[in-house]
Chains A and B, each alone.
Chain A
């Protein structure tokens, strides 16, 4: 193998190579280029975007292949990259969430707080008041958490003056919250989302619909300790209790296309179809990459947008890493639970619960199947033992409603997150379960929209195994590793290695497996770029 590589001449020496053109890689490329570096982004697939792409899966039908909603994107990143002038157009429908119930009712949550309260008041006057209170508390706490998410986690052994200043500022912000919210910050994180929502609400579907935010993308049920932390992290940039919706025209791929355009304009170069076989390390220093084509590109530094396990256990030869470090990275929890199903439809399905309220309008936001806490918990129970949920938690959007150009006239695309689909199946494998998974999802939704099966022209079923193989997400984990207290902030991905550096000199991480790593926000890429610039300028 080594000999084969030796034959290939080293084609060029680059400044900084970025492994992977996902959203964080592109954000990092932009900031590095902006500060005068010449980053080269190498993307394995034919298009950039990673988990934020739009692809045609049936002639004339394009869908947000994986992510279908923004994180939301961090406002300063949208501004710095001028994403809007690079073609990003976000729309926010009035409706955030429609939660469907098996008895034919639906709980509708509007983005506007007042309208939301009016709607909730039909279920419970008390909950309508609590909803506003909860939103306010999430807003106040979220602002403080949001500040911490923009920080580089401090060096615990030897904090620098910048670290101390950051901690002091966060500490002061937390204190300034006042006693009530200060106690909430301390108390809520380790709680179960189910307990947290029960402290505020009596209406079961409202509880479950909000708690679902705490389980999304994780190996947690609503009764799992720490699911409230996930809810809080997701609320940091978006305090609307059930989460707001922001759809990019053209699907999720238009976010990363705009990012790629911004990065290029700033001076970054992007190459697609460039599959990296190995990150070259010499004497503990990253010296470049080798592509599967055999081409070698050397560089002053390598920044990996791939997840920590892929980067440090597969792309880097493990012999360059200390055994105790390898042991820790092996224990990094990165087991996915989400599957994605995209449907090409001949028409919008008719949801029983929405008949009297006007089907089309109410489908603008997110449609959830999360009728009660126990429903979600039971869905989780099955996944613990290696089975996918027979009655899954489901989140649906219709990207073609916010952008009709995604489907032929009058037709639609339906984007569905399904949870739980555990990466490892017991006594089975995903290839043989693919059809069964699709059937389960369609059957589940058909209980709420009976004509759905008749409108389906094409299924695209993306299992956790596909997430790993096609999109490079180790373990099929959409967040590049479980979001949990023990893998968060100063411990993401590992304690002592939360500052975007790795034990290999001049090899950095910039993906979701680094702080804050909370979805499609760009936070990890921007934070990483700041640290990399500092390190490389030394």
Chain B
């Protein structure tokens, strides 16, 4: 049933959203075995990243590699040392976004100019760590722009001209990821990719074969094996299982 009240009937329902949404928000409680629901409840999300997208009036000029060149076309990473990244993580453990974050940047307009008006560019920044659950007294709606400012400052240490060329900035917090994109707790992989949540344990031990305790209801999102990343594998594997069950028309 859709939000607008429309009902659509089907032989098979395959959920591409995560198990928490599927089994606790979209299905009436009481229809699922306790042990399965415990597994769903235990399944860890804990998003830890945010996104900052910028519309630029030019290209960033990096101190140690000035000018426009091939280096701007690939991924640019602010991860100068293992200790830098570990310290960024330490802050997140206690509910603070990293004051000196790990940043992975790309400029998609260098490979596809149609993404921006002529001469303008886009800088897409993946930022870690941005813990979904902030320390007591903090919330993402008030932290959002501070988090964005901090990312700009971090980049400015390497590309001082960045502040002068920003036309617009879009900050996406883990909370935004949850609200806008349906990613529970802002985890971009629909759940932690940790050993205890992989392979035959993803998303729930005993329920890793894309089926659910409800007949004809399947799972096909990143919360199933082999997990997140834009590769399409969970979807394909789920489809194969659905076909195996003879659900093709």
A residues apposed to B, CB below 8 Å: 179-180, 183, 186-191, 195, 199, 223, 225, 374, 377-378, 381, 384-385
Please name the residue on chain B nearest to A485 by beta carbon.
B195
- The residue that B206 contacts in the complex, of A179, A189, A378, A385, with Cβ under 8 A, is A179
Q: Is the CB of B194 within 8 A of A190?
A: yes
Q: Is the CB of B205 within 8 A of A187?
A: yes
> Given the complex of chains A and B, what is the CA–CA distance between A384 and B89 in angstroms?
12
Chain A residues positioned under 8 Å from B83 (CB to CB)? 385
Please name the residue on chain A nearest to B83 by beta carbon.
A385
Asked if B35 is at the interface (CB within 8 A of a chain A CB), the reply is yes
B residues apposed to A, CB below 8 Å: 35, 42, 44, 83, 86-87, 90, 93-94, 194-196, 200-201, 205-206
Min Cβ gap A201→B in Å is 14
A selection of 23 A-B contacts at a CB cut-off of 8 Å is A179-B206, A183-B205, A186-B196, A186-B200, A186-B201, A187-B196, A187-B205, A188-B196, A189-B195, A189-B196, A190-B195, A190-B196, A191-B196, A195-B44, A199-B42, A223-B93, A225-B195, A374-B93, A374-B94, A381-B90, A384-B86, A385-B83, A385-B87
Please name the residue on chain B nearest to A378 by beta carbon.
B94
> Given the complex of chains A and B, what is the CA–CA distance between A188 and B205 in angstroms?
12
Chain A residues positioned under 8 Å from B86 (CB to CB)? 384
Interface of B, secondary structure class, is helix
Min Cβ gap A263→B in Å is 41
Q: Tell me whether A225 and B194 are in contact in the complex, defined as CB-CB below 8 angstroms, given that A183-B205, A385-B83 are known contacts.
A: yes
Chain A residues positioned under 8 Å from B195 (CB to CB)? 189-191, 225
Chain B residues positioned under 8 Å from A191 (CB to CB)? 194-196
> Given the complex of chains A and B, what is the CA–CA distance between A223 and B93 in angstroms?
9
Please name the residue on chain A nearest to B44 by beta carbon.
A195
> Given the complex of chains A and B, what is the CA–CA distance between A1 and B24 in angstroms?
74
Min Cβ gap B239→A in Å is 27
Q: 6 shortest A-B CB distances, which residue pairs?
A: A190-B195, A183-B205, A187-B196, A191-B196, A190-B196, A381-B90
Chain B residues positioned under 8 Å from A378 (CB to CB)? 94
Q: Is the CB of A186 within 8 A of B93?
A: no
Chain B residues positioned under 8 Å from A186 (CB to CB)? 196, 200-201, 205
18 additional contacts (CB under 8 A) given A183-B201, A187-B196, A190-B195: A180-B35, A183-B205, A186-B196, A186-B200, A187-B201, A187-B205, A188-B196, A189-B196, A190-B194, A190-B196, A191-B195, A195-B44, A199-B42, A223-B93, A225-B195, A374-B93, A377-B93, A381-B90
Please name the residue on chain B nearest to A192 by beta carbon.
B194
Min Cβ gap A430→B in Å is 21
Please name the residue on chain B nearest to A199 by beta carbon.
B42
Chain A residues positioned under 8 Å from B42 (CB to CB)? 199
Q: Is the CB of B194 within 8 A of A183?
A: no
Min Cβ gap B92→A in Å is 10
Please name the residue on chain A nearest to B200 by beta carbon.
A186
Chain A residues positioned under 8 Å from B205 (CB to CB)? 183, 186-187
> Given the complex of chains A and B, what is the CA–CA distance between A38 and B90 in angstroms?
54
> Given the complex of chains A and B, what is the CA–CA distance between A377 and B86 in angstroms?
13
> Given the complex of chains A and B, what is the CA–CA distance between A199 and B42 in angstroms?
7
Chain B residues positioned under 8 Å from A190 (CB to CB)? 194-196
> Given the complex of chains A and B, what is the CA–CA distance between A385 and B42 in angstroms?
32
Min Cβ gap A402→B in Å is 38
> Given the complex of chains A and B, what is the CA–CA distance between A195 and B45 in angstroms?
13
In the complex, which of the residues B93, B196, B200 has the most CB atoms of chain A within 10 Å of its own CB atom? B196
Please name the residue on chain B nearest to A228 by beta carbon.
B196
Chain B residues positioned under 8 Å from A189 (CB to CB)? 195-196
> Given the complex of chains A and B, what is the CA–CA distance between A190 and B205 in angstroms?
14
Chain A residues positioned under 8 Å from B90 (CB to CB)? 381
Please name the residue on chain A nearest to B197 by beta carbon.
A187
Min Cβ gap B129→A in Å is 13
> Given the complex of chains A and B, what is the CA–CA distance between A538 and B90 in angstroms?
54
> Given the complex of chains A and B, what is the CA–CA distance between A184 and B194 in angstroms?
15
Min Cβ gap B186→A in Å is 18
Chain A residues positioned under 8 Å from B200 (CB to CB)? 186
Please name the residue on chain B nearest to A377 by beta carbon.
B93
Min Cβ gap B84→A in Å is 11
Min Cβ gap A426→B in Å is 10
> Given the complex of chains A and B, what is the CA–CA distance between A191 and B196 in angstroms?
6
In the complex, which of the residues B83, B93, B200 has the most CB atoms of chain A within 10 Å of its own CB atom? B93
Chain A residues positioned under 8 Å from B87 (CB to CB)? 385
> Given the complex of chains A and B, what is the CA–CA distance between A191 and B198 in angstroms?
12
> Given the complex of chains A and B, what is the CA–CA distance between A186 and B204 in angstroms?
12
Min Cβ gap B133→A in Å is 13
Chain A residues positioned under 8 Å from B201 (CB to CB)? 183, 186-187
Q: Tell me whether A183 and B206 are in contact in the complex, defined as CB-CB below 8 angstroms, given that A191-B196, A225-B195, A385-B83 are known contacts.
A: yes
In the complex, which of the residues B35, B42, B94, B205 has the most CB atoms of chain A within 10 Å of its own CB atom? B205
Chain B residues positioned under 8 Å from A377 (CB to CB)? 93
Chain B residues positioned under 8 Å from A180 (CB to CB)? 35
Please name the residue on chain B nearest to A223 by beta carbon.
B93
Chain B residues positioned under 8 Å from A385 (CB to CB)? 83, 87
Chain B residues positioned under 8 Å from A384 (CB to CB)? 86
Min Cβ gap B226→A in Å is 16
Please name the residue on chain A nearest to B35 by beta carbon.
A180
> Given the complex of chains A and B, what is the CA–CA distance between A374 and B135 in angstroms?
12
Chain A residues positioned under 8 Å from B35 (CB to CB)? 180
Min Cβ gap B203→A in Å is 12
> Given the complex of chains A and B, what is the CA–CA distance between A355 and B114 in angstroms?
75
Chain A residues positioned under 8 Å from B93 (CB to CB)? 223, 374, 377
Min Cβ gap A386→B in Å is 10
Chain B residues positioned under 8 Å from A223 (CB to CB)? 93
> Given the complex of chains A and B, what is the CA–CA distance between A228 and B239 in angstroms?
35
Please name the residue on chain B nearest to A384 by beta carbon.
B86
> Given the complex of chains A and B, what is the CA–CA distance between A179 and B36 in angstroms?
12
Chain B residues positioned under 8 Å from A179 (CB to CB)? 206
In the complex, which of the residues A187, A195, A374, A378 has the most CB atoms of chain B within 10 Å of its own CB atom? A187
Please name the residue on chain B nearest to A194 by beta carbon.
B93
Please name the residue on chain B nearest to A195 by beta carbon.
B44
Min Cβ gap B152→A in Å is 27
> Given the complex of chains A and B, what is the CA–CA distance between A180 and B42 in angstroms?
14
Min Cβ gap B185→A in Å is 15
> Given the complex of chains A and B, what is the CA–CA distance between A179 and B200 in angstroms?
13
Min Cβ gap A41→B in Å is 41
> Given the complex of chains A and B, what is the CA–CA distance between A187 and B205 in angstroms?
8
Please name the residue on chain B nearest to A196 by beta carbon.
B196
> Given the complex of chains A and B, what is the CA–CA distance between A195 and B200 in angstroms?
19
> Given the complex of chains A and B, what is the CA–CA distance between A459 and B206 in angstroms?
55
> Given the complex of chains A and B, what is the CA–CA distance between A223 and B95 in angstroms?
14
Min Cβ gap B34→A in Å is 11
> Given the complex of chains A and B, what is the CA–CA distance between A190 and B194 in angstroms?
8
> Given the complex of chains A and B, what is the CA–CA distance between A256 and B208 in angstroms?
49
Chain B residues positioned under 8 Å from A381 (CB to CB)? 90
In the complex, which of the residues B83, B90, B200 has the most CB atoms of chain A within 10 Å of its own CB atom? B90
Chain A residues positioned under 8 Å from B94 (CB to CB)? 374, 378
Chain A residues positioned under 8 Å from B206 (CB to CB)? 179, 183
